[in-house]
Amino acid sequence: MSSEHIKRSNQTGWDGMADSYQATTAISVDDVHYGPLGPGERELGLLGEVRGSRVLELACGAAQNSIALAKQGAVVTAMDISNKQIRHARRLAAREGVGVDLLRGDMESLGMFKDGIFDLVLSSFGWEYVPDLGQCLEECARVMAGGGKLVVCTVHPLAAFEWDEESQDLRVFDYFRLPVEVWSEPEHGLEVGATFFHTIEEVFGLLTAIGFAVEQILEPSPYPITEMSEAELRTVPYRGADWERQYERMSRVPFTIIYTARKRS
Ligand SMILES: C[S@@+](CC[C@H](N)C(=O)[O-])C[C@H]1O[C@@H](n2cnc3c(N)ncnc32)[C@H](O)[C@@H]1O
């Protein structure tokens, strides 16, 4: 399948899934999230002061992260390949009373932006859908100012593997040749979508070769949700019943990985 075909399929899939994704996932519009059940920006403090910063969020979904940053005084542009997700984002930004520049587009091709115009590029669970991560990172570097920050969270490479339902062990066959996950959502009009995984060494190598200095790599464990009150649970910036069902596994094997990097001046 060609790269363009994969992206079109992922777009169709996300157009079909957008309503149920937004209905079944509780995502904060006051804290930036870095993945299911884990700590967000309030706890991790990865972004620094954002007031006045020019921010680009890629694969924004309903733009909850962008809305949270706009509330803190950042000047935010957010982009997603799915029209349906962007429609959710427009409604949510209006409801929250903040201005976010919302665009439909592909995060591998940022041709609508001039060079060097963003101080921060952020993406939360989007780059695993991109067939050519190197191309995406080249584009990120191009639109970022020297010294600008890239903060990305994505699926951990160990999430490429399947769990043994009986023993509840993760079956890691070959870490060095991570599988591409081919998925299908026929009820949402999607025959074939694809998720791409990358080893940590591969991502580090790409970032470094493209001109980023990697600052942090985090593998956050989930909050201890089984010990938390309802009120405490509501402070978790990204949650939902589907994720809570996977808590036990996620508390043993990381699901999320976060990279922070700075564009060399
Ligand atoms: C798991 S959702 C995450 C959305 C949002 N960042 C969040 O955390 O809720 C993945 C998003 O990636 C978007 N996406 C997939 N491929 C993309 C691409 N090539 N360019 C831009 N967005 C893409 C999908 O439309 C979807 O909204």
DSSP 56-74: EEES-TT-HHHHHHHHTT-
Query: Mean per-residue pLDDT for 153-157?
Result: 97
| More confident site: 194 or 254 | 254
How many angstroms separate the alpha carbon of residue 73 from the centre of ligand 1?
A: 24
pLDDT tens-digit readout, 68-89: 999 999 999 999 999 999 999 9
| Placement of tokens 């429609």 in the chain | 87
How many angstroms separate the alpha carbon of residue 85 from the centre of ligand 1?
A: 8
Task: For ligand 1, atom 10, name the residue with the nearest CA.
Answer: 126
Confidence (pLDDT) at 7:
87
Which of ligand 1's atoms lies nearest the C-alpha of 126? 12
- Ligand 1 in contact with 10 (CB < 6 A)? yes
pLDDT tens-digit readout, 201-248: 999 999 999 999 999 999 999 999 999 999 999 999 999 999 999 999
Confidence of residue 194 (pLDDT cuts 50, 70, 90): confident
- Ligand 1 in contact with 68 (CB < 6 A)? no
- Testing ligand 1's pocket by substitution, the residue of 7, 14, 29 carrying the most ligand atoms inside 8 A of its CB is 14
How many angstroms separate the alpha carbon of residue 28 from the centre of ligand 1?
A: 16
How many angstroms separate the alpha carbon of residue 227 from the centre of ligand 1?
A: 31
Domain extent, residue 108, equals 3-263
How many angstroms separate the alpha carbon of residue 105 from the centre of ligand 1?
A: 10
- Examine the pLDDT at 155 and tell me if it is beyond 90: yes
Confidence (pLDDT) at 8:
86
- Examine the pLDDT at 186 and tell me if it is beyond 80: no
Global pTM reads 0.96
- Contacts of residue 178, Cβ cutoff 8 Å, sequence gap at least 6: 157, 160, 197, 198, 199
- Ligand 1 in contact with 127 (CB < 6 A)? no
Which CATH number covers residue 103?
3.40.50.150
Confidence of residue 189 (pLDDT cuts 50, 70, 90): low
CA 103/CA 4 separation, integer angstroms? 19
How many separate domains does the chain show? 1
Tokens in use for 101? Answer: 């520049």
- Which of 16, 63, 99, 42 lies closest to 223, judged by CA? 42
Confidence (pLDDT) at 50:
98
Task: For ligand 1, atom 9, name the residue with the nearest CA.
Answer: 61
| Placement of tokens 């190598």 in the chain | 205
Where on the phi/psi map is residue 6: left (φ > 0), alpha (ψ -120 to 50), or beta?
Answer: alpha
Confidence (pLDDT) at 3:
86
Count how many Cα atoms sit within 13 Å of the Cα of residue 63 in the half-sphere of its side chain. 36
Confidence of residue 191 (pLDDT cuts 50, 70, 90): low
Amino acid (one-letter) located at 165 = E
Which of ligand 1's atoms lies nearest the C-alpha of 82? 25
